[in-house]
Amino acid sequence: MSFLSERLIQWTLLRERSYLTNLLRPLGCSPKLVTFAEQYRTKHGVVDFILEDVESKKYIIVELEVAIRSVQQATFVITQVERYAKISLNPHYERDIVILYSDVSYPKLIEKIRLHFTKLRNIKLVEYSYDKVILMYHKQVEELERHVGLILEPSKAMDITHLRWLNRITNIFRVYDRDYLVKTTFWRLHPRPEGFRL
């Protein structure tokens, strides 16, 4: 079975903040969660994302997993979370580590992870609905298609960072009130990046 990639799940969850907040609320998180960092690089590894609970002065380090379906994956998650436990952030903030896994993971392996971290109070496991996230993902992509006018292939949703560049290009047509521009005029108004070939 093929699953949506972890990065697309992350992209969706961070845009569907109410769903994510509801998942984390039983852990004592306030509704005012903000994204502190995504793909946060440390000497202990790259954290999927970190949320900041401003109200209760707490960081939530999130290890996101799509489907834990092998012993190797479960072992990898355990090792990774043990490394994340060494990450130091603001000393005035509490810190929780959340393993956010989907309901398509094998329960036996989730239990293995849960048992491993039983004694550690600040490491918690939270389950999300894979099917719900897929529906939210499709809704987000449809919204982008409608508002931006682009048809995005499912695997391209993470390339939204290129929309800034696209906005700069379309702005030239708006500013000069044109439906089309000849290539030389376009490049005069929007210089090519160094090394760019057409």
Q: What is the pLDDT of residue 131?
A: 95
Inform me whether the pLDDT recorded for 196 exceeds 90. Answer: no
Domain extent listing, the chain:
6-136, 153-198
**CATH class entry, domain 6-136:** alpha beta
Q: Look up the pTM and report it.
A: 0.73
What is the predicted pLDDT for the residue at 111?
94
- pLDDT tens-digit map of 103-126: 999 999 999 999 999 877 789 999
Looking at per-residue confidence, does 43 or 195 come out higher?
43
* SS3 sequence of the chain: CCCCCHHHHHHHHHHCHHHHHHHHHHHCCCCCEEEEEEEEEECCEEEEEEEEECCCCEEEEEEEECCCCCHHHHHHHHHHHHHHCCCCCCCCCEEEEEEEEECCCCHHHHHHHHHHCCCCCCEEEEEECHHHHHHHHHHHHHHHHHHHCCCCCHHHHHHHHHHHHHHHHHHHHHHCCCCCCCHHHHHHHCCCCCCCCC
